[in-house]
Amino acid sequence: MRPPAEYYQRDRDRHPPALAPDYKTSVSRSPRFAPISLEQSVSEITGPVFGHQDVGLLDHDLIRNYAQTGDPVGERIIVHGRVLDENARPVPQTLVEIWQANAGGRYRHKKDTYLAPIDPNFGGCGRTITDESGYFFFRTVKPGAYPWRNRVNDWRPAHIHFSVFGASFSQRLITQLYFEGDPLIARCPIVQSLPDAVDALTAKLDMNATIPLDTIAYRFDIVLRGRRSTLFENRLEGN
Amino acid sequence: MTRKLRETPSQTAGPYVHIGLAPGAAGFDIYDQELGWDIAGANAKGERIRVEGRVMDGTGNPVKDVLLEVWQANADGQYAHPESGAVEDGFRGWGRVITDFETGAWGFDTIKPGPVAGRNGAVQAPHLNLWIVARGINLGLHTRMYFSDEVAANAADPVINLVEWESRRQTLIAKRAEEDGQVVYRFDIRLQGSDETIFFDI
């Protein structure tokens, strides 16, 4: 069997270091040995395949997907964008999942004890499948900032967690979206563990996608690892 | 083809990853079906097994808020993906695993995969591909789990043999036991320390 076309080597400088001492939890959870670099086999260039049968019709609408008595409290927003690869090609039919705190900065999670209240109409998670152009959109409320135990007065900037698959397990990525203009971004030890990341992780206000008198919009494009051309392997095969 | 864009930087999954990826564990019911609970499906060929373990941090204490994903081949060594071979109906080969919040213990049921094609005609020993995210982990960690009863295949495996330090190779091998008639493989993952698990840059 000829070797599969590989995904580009991951640019580790593009990601926060495992050990980021100002983010205290990373100190005891970061490997000390270097990872072993693998040439990819079928184990790495394959990954789970998802389709529309995996998600429900309301799963992308966080304003409605857990509503009990009415809409959740908060600033109504659309978050939309495209999933692309490093070759600037769309990543279609891929699963995008998000989770976030409510407008008061409280998570619906049995381990979150922050004093801001749970919103009875807000679950805080959503998911969708990208279309043929890699496009996705969610409707939600803007999450609130909240304090966390790191240094005693650390606050997380408002953020939405994103989980993306791509076409192979080597493209698997979890990241966070921040909002343009948030002064807490510059003070956050998680974001600042890679200062160069701020621009790529900041969703931009997108007035063209707003719904007047209804919902404001933010744009957030996601880039997954790209894949090499198969040309070289084809040549080998012809030898 | 050259890279035109740069990959989006990773950020930690944080302590509340369950809300997004396993909301039932966070304490609420929202989706008609949560994804990743049935790895092999009802029709899968091969030996039914259970895998159990914990993830330990550098102090030796269990990490109680970790989420793992499993990606594996079927008993014929094929993945449920267009670039691999055919698999049984219902075989997805992908799963999500979360820890008990009190003990850090995790476990899942699946089937033992077969040997998988390697590069340039090599054969890879049966293995599970694992991906680990948690609070304090800034970029998801990839590792593999091999099987202790595959001594000859493991000895010939091209990936295990990439590990220069022979004493560290055993961190990739789960130990087989039988408990009440059930085959259980034990696989503890150590994030840091002299017995740190081998992680891969794939």
Q: Which residues of A touch B6 (CB under 8 A)?
A: 11, 14, 86, 200, 223
Q: Is B142 on the interface with A (CB under 8 A)?
A: yes
Check CB contact under 8 Å for A41 and B116.
yes
Any alpha helices (H) in chain B, and if so which ranges? 17-21, 23-26, 151-156, 166-169
Check CB contact under 8 Å for A46 and B81.
yes
Active-site residue numbers of A? Answer: 107, 146, 156, 159, 161
Distance CA A126, CA A105 (A): 17
Q: Are A70 and A120 in contact (CB under 8 A)?
A: no
Angle, CA B133 vertex, CA B132 and CA B135 arms, to 5°: 145
Q: Are A140 and A126 in contact (CB under 8 A)?
A: yes
Please state the pTM of the whole predicted model. Answer: 0.96
Q: Token digits for A177?
A: 């979206």
**Terminal C-alpha separation, chain B:** 20
Q: Which residues of B touch A109 (CB under 8 A)?
A: 15-16, 18-19, 26-27
Picking from B63, B71, B162, the nearest residue to A36 by CB comes out as B162
pLDDT in tens for each of the 202 residues of chain B?
A: 679 999 999 999 999 999 999 999 999 999 999 999 999 999 999 999 999 999 999 999 999 999 999 999 999 999 999 999 999 999 999 999 999 999 999 999 999 999 999 999 999 999 999 999 999 999 999 999 999 999 999 999 999 999 999 999 999 999 999 999 999 999 999 999 999 999 999 9
pLDDT, one tens digit per residue, over A188-221 is 999 999 999 999 999 999 999 999 999 999 999 9
